[in-house]
Amino acid sequence: MGDEIELDITNVAHGGVCVSRYGGRVVFVADTIPGERVLARVTEARKKSFVRASTVRVITASEHRREHVWAAASLDRDPAERAGGAEFGHIDLAEQRRLLASVITDSLRRMAGIEREVVVEAAPGDDECNGLGWRTRISLHTDAAGRVGPYAARTHTVVEVPDYPLAHHEVAMLTLGLPGTVRAGQTLDVIAPSASPPFVAVSEGSRGPQRGAARIRERVGSREFELSKTGFWQVHLAAPDVLTAAVQDAIDPALFDPAADNLDLYGGVGLLAAAVLDRFPGKTRITTVESDVLATECAADNLADSPGAYAQTGRVDRYLANYQRGATPAELARMRAATIILDPPRSGAGGEVCAALISLAPAQLVYVACDPVAFARDAATLTAGGYTLTGMRAFDLFPHTHHVEIVATLVRSDLLGSRSVSAE
């Protein structure tokens, strides 16, 4: 810990760090780019197989290095004082996306044996503003000394910063009045909905923001969605529109049966179920499954204009297990004809859910993923269980960070020749 070593950076790793080797050990290095030589300080050395380090000084710079978009996260600050949340801010946008694409393709190759190239697409307007001003939600913290700000990268240390360049202008303006108005140990969620006034939700310690009946509204195309004030919603202001269109495009219409037992798993407040209903208007049946009671209540209201839409509160693994146990032959037939959307948390759907999907054998899956490694792990399970990855797109919905969104289509392999299926 604390040693400073010179390193040659070879490639990028998942998690916003790059890779080097020193003394026979892998070193994961922050704030650098493949091809660079840097002086780095060891920040974690507890593992025998690898250590972590942060760049202190660039000796040989990459052609893709740029002045950091956020001075508070740049090399001008000591690594312990660098704001977290913009770990790719020193790299030009095009190279950021190339690095993200390489993480996706490498994960699929290593974990699922799938060779597939992908281009990470920009969200509308991001190139024109250099990937700034997109965050409609940020979380800030206060410490015992009364400081207000984000955590330093990979720590729970609060650092003071003069600005928030990734934040939407309404969010950035709200943060200006926060110092002096809060107490130690509070967390501040600063939120600017698209169809409700901006606000700050205050919570104490690590308990998270209080949940309640109060709702806000978000606009996506011609629809408005209600959600609880601190409920989950996509952070990038363009992400709901981008993902709506991507999910609609990812569904193979030749395999879509409106009468099937179509599902929107981890459905939240119904955003992607609405995407399906708008893509196939009329008598489409679809059920959202979501463990959060408040989100399910909002989903029921948001989809109330569609008679075939239902909102079910429950854990996805339990819902699928109960379906399997109680389904009639007719219901199982409707499930085999189904299109299932799944948008799991960062950890992925997991083995139990994937096994249930393989057993139920719906016609097609549209998998929305925010973690390439978790997606690759689930893709390995699903393709081994009889599905084929037929389409995949990736979107840079978190510019200047290592996060990326994937929308993939997996079709039951026996249907690839017929390209049609029916619940009849």
Three-class DSSP labels, 46-76: CCCCEEEEEEEEEEECCCCECCCCCHHHCCC
- CA–CA distance, 274 with 240 (Å, rounded to integer): 11
- Beta strand extents in 197-256 (DSSP E only): 199-204, 215-220, 223-228
| Closest of 22, 26, 25, 24 to residue 7, by C-alpha | 22
Do 113 and 103 meet the contact criterion of CB atoms below 8 Å apart?
Answer: no
| Closest of 83, 168, 106 to residue 401, by C-alpha | 83
User: Was 343 annotated as part of a binding site?
Assistant: yes
The Cβ of residue 72 has, within 10 Å, a number of other Cβ atoms equal to 24
- CA–CA distance, 269 with 228 (Å, rounded to integer): 9
The Cβ of residue 402 has, within 10 Å, a number of other Cβ atoms equal to 18
- CA–CA distance, 89 with 246 (Å, rounded to integer): 26
User: Was 266 annotated as part of a binding site?
Assistant: yes
Active site residues: 370
Those residues whose C-beta lies under 8 Å from the C-beta of residue 314, and which sit 6 or more positions away, are: 289, 290, 291, 322
Do 62 and 85 meet the contact criterion of CB atoms below 8 Å apart?
Answer: no
- Beta strand extents in 124-274 (DSSP E only): 137-142, 148-149, 186-191, 199-204, 215-220, 223-228, 262-265
Do 271 and 244 meet the contact criterion of CB atoms below 8 Å apart?
Answer: yes
The helices-and-strands tally (H runs, E runs) of the chain is 9, 20
For residue 399, the SS3 value is: coil
| Closest of 265, 74, 324 to residue 276, by C-alpha | 265
| Closest of 114, 134, 108, 115 to residue 123, by C-alpha | 134
- CA–CA distance, 421 with 269 (Å, rounded to integer): 29
Could you list the residues known to form a binding site for S-adenosyl-L-methionine, using ranges: 234, 266, 290, 343
Could you list the residues known to form a binding site, using ranges: 234, 266, 290, 343
